[in-house]
Every structure is written in structure tokens, then in C-alpha cells.
Structure 1
């Protein structure tokens, strides 16, 4: 068994994500039998001493039947209406199902704003920590009832990856209607199942499409992105079918395992790289890119060639190479109005009162 699978099988704290298509059926709403099987698998793992955080899609899907909606609505207002009805049904179903195992659930509804704002991020950490300490199973979903296009996660796969780091998980398990990662459409008999992903080269050239279930917003694209985000920050990931939940949360001998990077990012550096919203962009010359990416040095004014957007000291900004590709993020030490006068100046040319790093190395996270 690979190191990743061994780590997942032994994990003390796990984030489990389940997709809409694994819990709901178009036209029929929530499938309680499938939900019960998932809960049974989670309860079995909890019984071994592990802590589980469940990121569950399905609120909108669960609200379709009660509102006599034949398919997932396209407009935001109707999606929010379906979520407001479906979230109650979903929460009630989980409470009833976990109750069969004498387990208490706590509902946690998040918007991406709760990840982007550092204070909200810390508050969410405290809430999860207390729920787990009290023996509850947190059930997490995007707050679809109030989320708008500007503040949506886009899919719960990304939310699960962010939550895994936020709660200090030892593993992330992504469950859906697909049993593994394939190098093409799994419905094509010629495609190859990929059992292990140990690095970028294992997924280079893979063609993955979007979900066709009509119930979820994500597909293999979002799952692969989420797996890479979590694994790259030091958390092993297992991608498997919801029908295989018992084995995924047991010996972890199903699906595709993603090996974790050797070192785990600190909570602050992970937030900077993956959760924080950016207020602007600094364009860098080749020398600055090499210093920032290759030598992990601070960004100085001499290496900046341009400033985009309006921001204030303390905001998070993107750092882009000469081709315009964002290569890093960091906390900027100057307002956007101050920087144009400093562009290209060497340290001794910068006025004494402004003689400091534009982005300090401790507040900078390379993205590649």
C-alpha cells in the first residue's frame, strides 16, 4: 500500500466531501438510503477514534422535489430558494441518520467571504475545534441561501480542500459518482484508471470533463484542482465513489490516492495562497521573479515594473511575471498610490521613510 493510502487509513482527523449526485436524484430529491450508507461508513470510522468533518453538497438538489422543480434551476434566486428548503431537509436527514449511531451533528454554513477575511477564517477554526472537542460531527455546506455569484466557492470540492487545511485534517476524502481519476472519459473503455498521483507529471496531459449529472456544479476538473490544492499543502487525498465510502474510510484501498507534499503550509501561508482574496497586482521583472520564486526572497521596489488596481498597505496582492502569469501572492506594505513613484528604484534610492520590502518574504507565498 502506498504511503498516501497508509496515511489516510491511519488519519486521526478527516474531511469527507460528498457530492450532490451521490445523495440526490433528479426529480426525486434526497435519497435517504444512500445518505444512510454514507453515515454508516462515517460512524464506523468515528468509532475507531477518528474525528470527521463532513462537507456535504445536496441542499439545492434536496429542495427541488418539495418545490416541484424538475431540474436544477439556472437563476441564482431560484437556486437560493431551493437551497433554503433543501438545507432544512438535508440537515434533518443527517441529524436523524447520525442519531442512529448516537452521534450529534452541528451544521456549519460558509461563504467564501468566511475564508477570504482573515478574522472570519480564525473564527471558523475556533468553531470547528470546539465542535470536534465536544464529539460532534460538523456538517458543512456553502451557504447557498445567501451566497451571490461574487462570493461563491463555485463548488464544494474547493470548499472541502480549504476546510481540510482550516481544521488541520490529516486526510481529505472526496466522494462522488466517479470511482477514481482516469486519463480520459471513464465511459470510454480505452481510458486508464490512475491509482496513485505522486506529482504533477502523473496528471500532465489528462483530459477531464465537467459533471453531466445536472445536480452538481463541479466535475472532475474541480475534484482534481481540490486534490492538488490539499496535497500540495501537505494533506493526502483519496478520490473515490460514494458507493465505496466504507472502504475509502476503512483500508483506503479504492479510488485514486494523491500523495501529500513533504511539508505542510502554515495556516497563514495556506490562507495567503489559496483562500485570501486579492486586491490588486504587481508586475515583476525576471530578476524579481527569480528572487521570489527561486530564492524565496522578499520583493523590493527595484523588481517591480507595474502596478494594477487599487489597494492599501496590508492587502493581499498577486505577483505576476513579465508574461502576466500570477506566480505568487503576498501582503503588500504600501498603498497602490505610493508605489508608482518607487518602481525600479534600488534600496539606496528609496526615501529613508519608505525603505522597506514591498512584500516581505514571510508574507509571500509562491504558487508554482
Structure 2
């Protein structure tokens, strides 16, 4: 196998970009497990009191993730995140003004493997989100499982992440002062199993929970499509019906998280590894779909709004695809 090694002379700026993406991949894949190991190991050392004190704090702070979390500006605005942005690079594209007195649901598509576009645009403050949308505060929704991991929960909350359950989302969307954005990767973990270059298949046809949530809270829906999201990683071939896909689906049902077997490049060579490719990601935020509040929406109202959302997302994709080099004959497919 021929290995394409990186050149020895690389600008220091590009090395910083690689480092920031490397630590992001590590945090996504292994930091939670490391936090559990450290918390448990400390209990059997003379520093046992650290875990005990943290456990006490954890108990007292249990509901914070479900009450808007605890975003820390100095971490979100760290200048080093600019190198993460420039690695791909990532760009946030605005198409319409949003009222800061309202709360919104951003439907993010596609999920991709590690939702790089969502993290880069909504969890760190180097993409000028609050300059483009003054008065709005983005909160990325993440599986509640991760907020039960010691130390790790505080780290992800600092980036504005909150649990992806109804209690957490409703707290944000029912704030009377407005200004909150709940960012939801609609396709979720199952969609990650279809994330590969050239894929435009979205798991949306039967995803209506966010539609009901929008109606119950009266929160406008904003379709978001991230062009290039599926281009940054390859994935082992896993067609539906194959042994690997059945195993992945079963594990996803048991664990609540998907396990895509992805690969791209390494740190010192470009032939294999878990670092994403340097491919541009353009995250386009569409126009808001206004929603009338319904405390108990009917199935007909949910289906009507769901269809309107699909049409809005499709229009957003078709309107911008040529600009981002998507072939004219490619269209979104919904499953």
C-alpha cells in the first residue's frame, strides 16, 4: 500500500489547524471515556476527595443541562478555534434576518459523521454567528447520555450544548424574552451511518418530534443545510441489509449512539486515519417558517407543517447547490 506522507516543511499555521482538529476528534471519540476512567481511578488514590467533591457538585448541579446549560464565553470565543475553522474551512451563510425576540428551532442537515459544521458554526464563536444574528444564542442539542459523564458534562456545556430531550428543548423555546436557538441534527445517530462523500439521503420522512415541539412552543422552524458535511470522511461500505449495517443498527438501538466505521487521513500522512479531509463546509441558514402555537397539535397540523418544512429545506438545497458544486441532477432523498 502506497502511503502519501505529509511534507516536512509545513507552515506553523497549518500545524495549529491540524492540532485543533485532532483535539476535537479526540474529545468527540475518547474524552468521555477518559473522564470516566479518571473519576473512577481517583477514588482509589489519596486524591479520592476530588471525586467525592465533584460527585457532590454533580448532584447539586444535576438539572443545569436541562435549564439552558452553562455556556462559557471565554471557551467558546477562544482564538485557537479559528484554526479549527480554517482547517476545512467552515463558512456560515445567512439568507434572511431573524427576530431576536423570538425563539427558533434550527433543523441541521445532514448529520454527517461528527457534525463538524454544526460544531464549528453553533458551538464556538469564531463564525460570527452573533454578528450575523444579533441577540440570538445558539444551543446545540446532544444525546442526554453524555451529560451523565463526570467532568465531560461540564466541558460540553461550556460550548453551549444541552440534552436533546423535550424538557431541555422546551425550557429554551418557551423563554419569554426570546433569543434562544435550539440546533437539532434532525437525522440523528442513524443518519450518520449513511454519511459519505456524494450522499444526499436524509432521515426526515418519519422525523416529526421536532415539528410537534415547534407547534407546542410556537417556535419558527429554520432549515439549515451544510454543504460539504458528508465530504470530510469516508465510511466503510455498509449498505442496508448487509451484516455490518444490521450490526450497526442493533448497536444503535441498544446504546442510543451510532458507530460508523469512518476514515480519512492521518496527522503525518494523507492515506488513512481519523482526521477529516480538508474539504470546505458551507452551512447555509434558510428562511424561517412561521409557526402558530398549539398546545395539543393534531396529527393533521403536524403533517402539514412537516411537509412545509421538507419543501423549505428542498428549496434551500436547490437554490444553493450550484454555488457549492453539487451536480444539477442531484437532489435530496428523504427516508
Normalised to the residue count of structure 1, the TM-score between the two structures is 0.28
Higher share of residues assigned strand: 1
Choose between structure 1 and 2 for higher RCO, CA contacts under 8 A separated by at least 6 residues. Answer: 2
User: Which has more radius of gyration?
Assistant: 1
